[in-house]
Amino acid sequence: MQIGNLDLGSRPVLLAPMEDVTDIGFRLLCRQLGASMVYSEFVAADALVRMVNKSLEKLTVCDAERPVAIQIYGKDPIAVRDAAQIVVERAHPDVLDINFGCPVKRVAGKGAGAGLLQDVPRMLEITRAVVDAVDVPVTAKTRLGWDSEHKIIVPLAEQLQDCGIKALTIHGRTRAQMYTGEADWTLIGEVKRNPRMHIPIIGNGDITSAEGAVDAFERFGVDAVMVGRATFGRPWIFKELHDALHVGDHSVDQAIQSEYAPMTPDWKLDVLKEQVRQSVERIDEYRGILHVRRHLAATPLFKGLPNFRQTRIAMLRAETMDELFAIMESTRPLIREAEAALL
């Protein structure tokens, strides 16, 4: 699959943009584990134009994580255009993505993100302004429509393509659904089958397993899949998907330093430790650990361990890497026992 001149190979799997999740450390780890391209946390255009330091920090990328896309959002065409220019000048991303899909109230409720599904002319104006303003491939991410009565993605995809975007990501839910229910991929497939569409279509929503990814490519014909919430505490999902989609390719087997075989519980624990390490190295010890806590709380690796509550609490309260690693190491016998019980 190609986005402009950027070749992502066959059946690429992408890391979705997620606020407070896809920081530089997590992006780098996901690339090492098999993600074909990673996306930044979404950045508010208004904040970039006002040069807000916290937003400018989100533009930090490193060569090791490339190809990388930076995603911006906003409702004012001029502000989004200016923000796009700032992003390209400062970060030189491989792709610039526009968020037309975020459903949360503080974004969509103010007319940005998925809110623009109720104002398509403005969405198209923003898209044209950004495409004309920068010299990197511009893409967009959106949803099926505002609600079940207004699923407009099939004609909208054509309109966005006509504005000059080089790829379109579609989340298989409406804004009204937020993240409830199941993602509906039928309209994603319909967009892909539209003979008038020639840009890559990236499917997003409920890709949580290798079987789901394979099905997305074979049944709906998408050019790529994007994985979001399933990565929480489970960055190795990219290896799972890579191994299923590229049988016989073992290029990511040595993604991290570990004495254990890939995909074993011991190896997965080492992956989580590496995530902590990279987060601390890229930010600082205190904030780096804070960034990883969400993943430690969500990881399926610790699910169902007996008498684990106090250990979990201690893990989420740890403030130094040494303290956190000692607690994580104490779980190693438990996760081995849990794995053995399943055999």
- Alpha carbon distance 157, 12 (integer Å): 21
- Alpha carbon distance 264, 236 (integer Å): 11
For residue 27, the number of C-alpha atoms closer than 13 Å in the C-beta half-sphere is: 27
- Alpha carbon distance 290, 276 (integer Å): 9
Confidence class of residue 189 from pLDDT cuts 50, 70 and 90? Answer: very high
For residue 223, the tally of other CB atoms under 10 A from its CB is 20
Enter the tokens of residue 169.
Answer: 């990501």
Whole-number pLDDT of residue 205: 97
Contact in structure between 199 and 165 (CB atoms under 8 Å): yes
Closest by alpha carbon to 335, among 269, 256, 274, 259?
269
What number is the average pLDDT over the span 210-236? 97
Q: What is the per-residue burial (b if ≥16 Cβ within 10 Å, else e) of 72-81?
A: bbbbbbebbb
Contact in structure between 156 and 142 (CB atoms under 8 Å): yes
How far, CA to CA in Å, does 215 sit from each of 41, 119, 206? 27, 33, 12
Element (H, E) at 7: strand 6-7
290: helix, strand or coil: helix
- Alpha carbon distance 333, 210 (integer Å): 28
What digits encode the pLDDT tens for the residues 288-316? 999 899 999 999 999 989 889 999 999 99
What digits encode the pLDDT tens for the residues 251-293? 888 888 999 999 999 999 999 999 999 999 888 899 899 989 9
Contact in structure between 158 and 196 (CB atoms under 8 Å): yes
pTM: 0.95
- Alpha carbon distance 318, 169 (integer Å): 38
Whole-number pLDDT of residue 343: 67
What phi, psi does 202 have (nearest 5°)? -110, 120
- Alpha carbon distance 289, 308 (integer Å): 20
Closest by alpha carbon to 169, among 235, 119, 112, 97?
97
Which residues are catalytically annotated? 102
Whole-number pLDDT of residue 23: 87
For residue 185, the tally of other CB atoms under 10 A from its CB is 23
- Alpha carbon distance 271, 311 (integer Å): 19
Peptide bond into 300 cis (omega under 30): no
C-alpha radius of gyration, the chain, whole number: 20
Confidence check: pLDDT of 341 > 80: no
Enter the tokens of residue 332.
Answer: 């190693």
For residue 146, the tally of other CB atoms under 10 A from its CB is 19
- Taking the alpha carbons of 81, 87, 89, 94 in that order, is the dihedral positive or negative? negative
What digits encode the pLDDT tens for the residues 81-135? 999 999 999 999 999 999 999 999 999 999 999 999 999 999 999 999 999 999 9
Site of tokens 């995809």:
157
